[in-house]
Amino acid sequence: MPAEPDLLTEAARRAARKHGERAAFAAPDGWHLSFAGLDRAAQEIAAGLRARGLGPGSTVALVLDSGVDYAALYLAAARIGAVTAGINPAATAAEAAGCLRIVRPHLIAVHRHLASLVPAGAAPLVEPLAPAAGPDSVGGELRGGSGPGSGPRPGDGPGLGDGPGLGGRRGERPVCICFTSGSTGAPKAAWFGDRQLAAVAAVDAGGSWGGGGHGLAVTPMAHVGFMTKLAWLLDGGQTAHLLGRWSAGGALEAIARHRMPAVAGVAPQIALMVRHRLIDELDFSAVRAITAGGGPSPPDLVKAARRAFGAPYSIRYSSTESGGVGLATALDADDDEACHSIGRPRPGVEAAVRDSNGSALPPGRVGELWLRSPTVMSGYWGDPAATATALADGWLRTGDLASADERGLYRLAGRLDEMYVRGGYNVYPLEVEGVLGGHPGVAEIAVMGQPDPVMGQTGLAVVVPEEGSPPVTLEELRAFGAHKLARHKLPEAVVTAGELPRRPNGKLDRVRLAEQWG
């Protein structure tokens, strides 16, 4: 056990003292878990983890729905010095297996209905958890220390490779791992310690309007938006309302019923709420701000949301690697900033636009957006080569193309790797092409993002059929890829072409592709 409490443990204990029996998490059916109950559950689950031989240097993977089980296990793992890796339950079995191969967990906690995501032999112990039916059921079989022992595997490190060792001085010890994808769609595991979590709290806590009140849990708990921000969320004392499966109607009803001061989500969620019939029927007079991440928001959406909720709209730009902190448009921004930019760096964040050699570019020139902040990841778990590529002299290379103007406003111009964002989820064409190109009726395929009024972008597949084969339909492509790709990665339109545009060197010309079919 660490010599002194970690940041998350301190936050949970402080919240238990300050907020006591106030609900920390609340379900639509009225069930809730208090801040004091969450701290007690974390303490008992920590005892259960220790009884299984886990401690500093262990890795725990959570294949769980977003809810009280997830939050309590994350806090419990931090309490014993273990590292938590969250696996998005929306992943396919292949995607989840790729994440688990990277972290090589000593324990996988999985809800029974998600067990198909966990390959046999992925960890010495897989514990199905009981669905939460009351405060004493949180954590299920992992609570209280019963069960067989299963300590860290001798000589089998947790996956840091050539990175810093575990169990080091406070702030540098890894606490959580958040997954993202590289340009080929292969998972990468960004890791963070107390140092980053404290820095995130310093940047984000100012947006809590004094703490307390109610808010929606809008991002999956495996997402960086929860993993790096739990400490300050606990300190704020706000009740997080769990929707289960997100819906625009459910979100609107909760915002109105509980007089929530903020509407938060990714741009497609905001778009769906603005278009819902309840937007004209419910009272949103308590809303003081709208914040949207997960990619830029179209200007028409910003204006429509401001009218619908009667509140200012802030676009938040960040990435998993940046710790979920980056740039933002101001709540009192003029239309140019609010509708056509991603704003300015947030407190403690530096930004720069650089060329391929890393030299700073003047205003108006497009280059790669670099960020420097104490919230930036320590590196990619077990991948020092990728870490060295992403981090340069304290700066994070985001892979996004952008420009800055004389006012200090930043504007996105695309992606170096042609990624697009559908509904807040990153989609990488090379990954999708690699799967769908295996269809027997496909000779060549290229995938690209196309604008969509709700999702921001959706996938378009340009297909060259095999000679003598009929054109492949959208339904056939989606069915073929569904066993390897998450639903948001599957294309939603298909066109047939005689050939794909090529550069002189034979590589796909994605600029001409966008000109012809974008």
Q: Where are the beta strands (DSSP E) in 73-195?
A: 83-86, 107-111, 126-129, 174-181, 187-193
- Most confident residue range from 4-13, 116-125, 275-284, 298-307: 275-284
pLDDT in tens, 282-319: 999 999 999 998 767 888 899 999 999 999 999 999 99
- φ, ψ for residue 443, nearest 5 deg: -90, -45
Name the band, by pLDDT with cuts 50, 70 and 90, for residue 146: very low
Task: Give alpha helix (H) positions in 261-361.
Answer: 267-275, 299-309, 335-340
pLDDT in tens, 328-374: 999 999 999 999 999 999 999 999 999 989 999 999 998 899 999 99
Amino acid present at 396: L
Q: Give me the torsion for CA of 200, 176, 318, 15, rounded to 10°.
A: -40
Please give the model's pTM, rounded to 2 decimal places: 0.83
pLDDT for residue 33: 93
Secondary structure letter of residue 350 according to DSSP: E
Name the band, by pLDDT with cuts 50, 70 and 90, for residue 123: low
For CATH 3.40.50.980, the residue range(s) in the chain are 7-194
Question: HSE-up of 192 (CA within 13 Å, CB side)?
Answer: 34
Task: Give alpha helix (H) positions in 143-289.
Answer: 194-204, 224-227, 230-236, 248-257, 267-275
The fold of the 7-194 domain, in CATH, is: Rossmann fold (3.40.50)
Structure tokens at 395: 């700066």
pLDDT for residue 80: 96
pLDDT in tens, 20-52: 999 999 988 788 899 999 999 999 999 999 999
pLDDT in tens, 218-241: 888 999 999 999 999 999 999 999
pLDDT in tens, 409-441: 999 877 777 788 899 888 888 789 889 988 999
Neighbours of 374 (CB within 10 A): 16
pLDDT reading at 145 higher than 60: no
Burial of 119 from C-beta contacts in 10 A (0-12 / 13-18 / 19+): middle
Amino acid present at 59: T
Name residue, tokens 């959406």. 301
**Helix, strand or coil, per DSSP, at residue 364:** coil
For CATH 3.30.300.30, the residue range(s) in the chain are 420-517
Are 93 and 84 in contact by the 8 Å Cβ rule? The answer is: no
Provide the angle, in degrees to the nearest 10, between the axes of the packed helices 248-257 and 267-275: 80
- Cα separation, 455 vs 415, in Å, equals 18
The fold of the 420-517 domain, in CATH, is: GMP Synthetase; Chain A, domain 3 (3.30.300)
pLDDT for residue 133: 57
pLDDT in tens, 164-216: 333 445 567 999 999 986 544 678 999 999 999 999 999 987 544 446 789 99
Are 34 and 209 in contact by the 8 Å Cβ rule? The answer is: no
What sign results for the dihedral spanned by CA atoms 114, 214, 229, 425? positive
Structure tokens at 80: 């014993």
Return all residues near 96 (Cβ < 8 A) that are at least 6 apart: 63, 87, 117, 118
Task: Kindly state the percentage of the chain with pLDDT values over 70.
Answer: 88
- Cα separation, 163 vs 190, in Å, equals 12
Average pLDDT, the chain: 87
Task: Kindly state the percentage of the chain with pLDDT values over 90.
Answer: 64
